[in-house]
Structure 1
Amino acid sequence: MQPLKYRPWNLEFIDSPVRVDHLQIRLANIWSEALPVLATESEEEVPSLLWGLDPIFSAFARLYIKDVQEMKESKQVPGIFFYNRHPVRQVDILGTVVLIKERDACYTYGVDDGTGVISCTCWKNPLAQQRSLSDFRPHPSTSSGLDLAEQIRKLEVAVCQKTRLEIGDTIRVRGCIQIFRQQREIKASMYYKVDDPMCEVLISRMLELPHLYRDIYDQPFQLQEEAQSQGAAYMLGSITELSKKIRDFLLKNKIQSFYQQELETVEALVSLVKEDGPRTAEQTDSKDGPCSKLIRDSFTEAIKVLQKKGVLFQKSKNPQDMYFVTEQDKELHKVTLEVLRADCKRPKYAEKGCHLNYILNCIQQRYSPFVSKDVIHCLLDWMETNSDVVTTMEGYYTVF
């Protein structure tokens, strides 16, 4: 086995507002000795339809912040990054808060793990913001059994304490990587303050990461030639055709929402999935049978294609939850028209209308934070076809 190579430690974080004491310097020196070199990335990207074969794509990758900042973004799908040919869309970082910026709807924390600093956008809890810790006073219990109100109060106190951070606190953040104003940042789906007075959690992460890099991240993502040639060719043609038929079926029948299991019972769509297509060992050994596994996987990939185009969206991150059809969702149409009609009357937007990003931000606040830019773009194109909105210039929309 070849000896590990190490990176030099980056001392840029010393300029941060956090006071660097002897303990931090010792921890940073330990950490610097455990940093493996960033693996050389191949110029060729793995086809997007095959990303799901890499377990890292569906997991929260525990990477150094330096690597999060330096990973190359995919040319196929924005928001996906590659480390040593591994597709990465969400990360798990642990570090020290060195910067805090408060906005109306979120906090922006600068997080430093000793290798670099990255901004993390963490959304506020509306209920917690309206109350302070002094508001969570215990109420006298009227029963001898379990008091549900008291348990809820304790939970609220814990949430409030874990989501209020100060400079120097240790924070753990999970979320997806995004680029905002030419700067890479993490849009948190989960974050909390880590109570770590003895630095046990930090040291544990320092010892864990070198093993993850050596055994997983630095091992290049490789596919079997047979699966890459035959499987990719079959999937590209079949999935593309299936996604078109699914969209036509949903629009023709004016379906506003559905579950994936419901689509898998439509005979006209199931018949498009070729039973003689290539199958993996996992599909062959499936208890449900190779045919049902192939059907489920094909529908899952076809729905992902439609989601990337903005045709479908969800109001949660659980793929088992309900899907909504963008062009048929009346509530989404109503909210979008209300935003445009109200804001286009303001002098700022009266002449050229509202920008796509502004509309997206309003929809995420009023309707659902899981609505993507592709969904709004698809919706506005459809509304323009129906003369509900009009484009004043590229990316700007208004109403009559």
Structure 2
Amino acid sequence: MFNYGVDDGTGVVNCCCWKPKGRDKPAAVNPDSSFREFVTDKIQTHQMQQLTCMELGDIIHVRGRLNRYRNRVEVSASYFRKVEDQSCKAEIYRMEELPNMYQNVYDRPFVLPSIVTSQLRLESEESESGVQREADLVDRLCIYLRSQLGDPSNGFQNFFLRELETIEAVMDIASCPCLEYKQDSVGGKAPIRQIRNIIKQSVDRLDREGIVIRSGNEKEMFQVAQESLTSWLEKTILKILRADCQLPKYEKGCHYLHVMDRLHNLNPFQNISAQAVKLALDRLEEQSEVISTTFKHFIPFS
């Protein structure tokens, strides 16, 4: 790794720039690694080559996470590059920006955002009363549904949201006492709004993870993303990309939302979500079937 002291006008902070793994080895495509990992390694190697030729007084652009090491705050850099600024425009712009930063940020007392204070209050109530929060119940239900939907012997092929309310194990989790709905409970029973919200949030999370896919027939109906359905979705997306990327308008790649709109015209995928489309495109990129020209645009590999 390389360590650099970076002065942003308010003080000097240590920046830790880690070497990418295997940087000293010859660059070659590992058949067991994805195309994205190979490109990322090449970018990081280029960044390291830039860092090794830096001198005192150079301007560096660093992005990363704040960590504490030996009781000192440092930046663990995920992105870094040397800024060529011969006319000092970037440095002058930063100096002009600092008075506003002091007035609006640095000199103001730190106040926790309302969403953080609300979460801390709920955690405190949970520890005192033993009653679980909604997020905890959603986590528990997701774990149960993953175990059931991933087992072909259970016979889960497709289901409606309301059908989950007939499963005893689902209801046992969704109807547990919940802090967010304690005022709506009557006679110690969980309100129906709590049960349906927890089930819906759990299935929505499984949809984002690609475990289930919204059916083309009904908005509240879901299909388990088995291998056959996933393969069909990926082949359909490839077919769309190969056709549309021939057009001048999409020669630099199709936006994943455009792919989703095209899928909505096909019967099996009329209600497919953007997250499911993006997940399928990521799998295709890992298989070197497509290439991402930006974070949101894709073209077929061949």
Q: Specify the TM-score bucket, using the shorter chain as the normaliser.
A: 0.3 to 0.5
Compare the two structures and name the one with the higher helix fraction: 2
Q: TM-score, structure 1 length as denominator? A: 0.33
